[in-house]
Amino acid sequence: MGTITFAVMLESFGLYSMAGLMIVVGLAIFEVTTPYSNWREIQKGNIAVALATGGKIVGLANIFRVVENHHDSTIDIFVGGAFGFILLLATYWLFEFLTPTLKVNDEIQQGNIAVGLLAFLLSIGVSLVVGAALVR
C-alpha cells in the first residue's frame, strides 16, 4: 500500500473532478434523450425515475472507477469513460427498442417501479461488463 501524500491527494482530486464532470455531462445527455424531465419527476417523488437515474449514475461511476484504476493516461481515462457512457446510452435505447410491447420511458414516467428497477439493474449490469472489457 502506498502512502497518502499531497501528490496522491491532488491526483485523486483531479480524477474525482474529471469523473464527476463526465457524470454530470452524461446525466445531461440522458436528460435530453428521455421524453420527460428526470429531475422534475424525481422532485415529484417518482421512484421509478429516481431508480433509473440512480442506475445511470452508479453505472457511469463504476465505469470511471474501473478505467481510473487501470489506466494512467488522462486521455485513456477520458476516452474509456466516454466510450463506456456511449455503451450505457446505447443499452438504454436498446432496452426501449427491444421491448416494443413495453414502452420503457412511458412506464418509468408513470412511476412503474418494476420498470425503473429493471432499468437500474440493467445500467449496473452493463457497467460491470463494460468496465471489465475496458481493462483488457
Mean pLDDT by 10 residues, the chain (136 residues): 86 89 92 94 98 96 90 85 91 89 95 97 95 87
* Angle CA 15–120–16, to nearest 5: 10
Q: Which residues contact 126 (CB under 8 A, 6 or more apart)?
A: 59, 87, 88, 91
Q: What is the predicted pLDDT for the residue at 73? A: 83
Q: How many CA atoms within 13 Å lie on the side-chain side of 8?
A: 5
Contact 109, 36 (CB under 8 A): yes
Which pLDDT value is given to residue 11? Answer: 87
pLDDT for res 76: 87
Q: What pLDDT shows up at residue 12?
A: 86
Q: What is the pLDDT of residue 1?
A: 62
pTM: 0.88
Residue 69: per-residue pLDDT: 87
Distances (CA, A) of 31 to 8, 49, 79: 34, 11, 21
What pLDDT, on the 0 to 100 scale, is given for residue 2? Answer: 73
